[in-house]
Amino acid sequence: MTARIGHRSDPLWIAAMIHRLSGLALAIFLPLHFLALGLAIDGEARLESFLRWSDQPWVKASEGGLVFLLTVHMLGGLRVLVIENFDWRDGQKQLATLAAAVSAIVAFIFLVRVF
């Protein structure tokens, strides 16, 4: 028996999966981010050359993706904190969809400003 899609098309299940996958992606990214900032130990010029390398369009596009992941992970986490600490509320599917949309908009604004 193979796993079926079944109930896994529900928006709230998808929200939970996006939350987990975005967290995993951010966890993988974070050491690289810290290493990049750590280049300043070798002097300002070293950090500067990295920043200029990161001006390339594909890097900037990836940064937009990271902004999306960070925003969506935070909003998804807030969803969990609300479910766990406050009274039950309806309308969660709409809020989850809205959270994804807000994250996309924030990432889009980032991309518009850098390009």
Partner 1 sequence: MPADLSVSLWRGAKDGRYETYSVPRRESQTVLDVVTFVQRHIDPTLSYRFACRVGVCGSCAMTVNGKPRWTCRTHVSKVAGSGRLEIGPLENLTVIKDLATDMEPFFEKWQQAQGVFAPSRTRYDAIEQIRPDSPARRAADAAIECINCGVCYAACDTVRWNNDYLGPAALTRAWTLVNDERDASNTARLQAVSAAGGCHACHSHQSCQELCPQTLNPTASIAGLKRRTAAAYLKGEIKI
Partner 2 sequence: MNVRLYVWQRATAALMAPLVLVHIAVIFYATRHGMSAADILSRTSGSAAWAAFYGLFVAAVSVHASIGVRNILSEWSPLKDRGSGALAIAFGLLLAVLGARAIFAVVLS
Nearer to partner 2, 77 or 101 (CB): 77
Q: Which does 23 bind (CB under 5 to 8 A by kind): partner 1, partner 2, none?
A: partner 2
By the rule CB under 8 A, 6 interacts with partner 1: yes
Residues from 72 through 101 that contact partner 2 (CB under 8 A): 74, 77-78, 80-81, 84
By the rule CB under 8 A, 90 interacts with partner 1: no
Nearer to partner 1, 43 or 85 (CB): 85
End-to-end CA distance of the chain: 48
Nearer to partner 1, 22 or 110 (CB): 22
Listed ranges 23-31, 52-60, 80-88, 106-114: which one lies at the site for partner 1 (CB under 8 A): 80-88
Three-state SS string over the chain comes to CCCCCHHHHCHHHHHHHHHHHHHHHHHHHHHHHHHHHHHHHHCHHHHHHHHHHCCCHHHHHHHHHHHHHHHHHHHHHHHHHHHHHCCCCCCHHHHHHHHHHHHHHHHHHHHHHHC
Residues from 53 through 72 that contact partner 1 (CB under 8 A): none
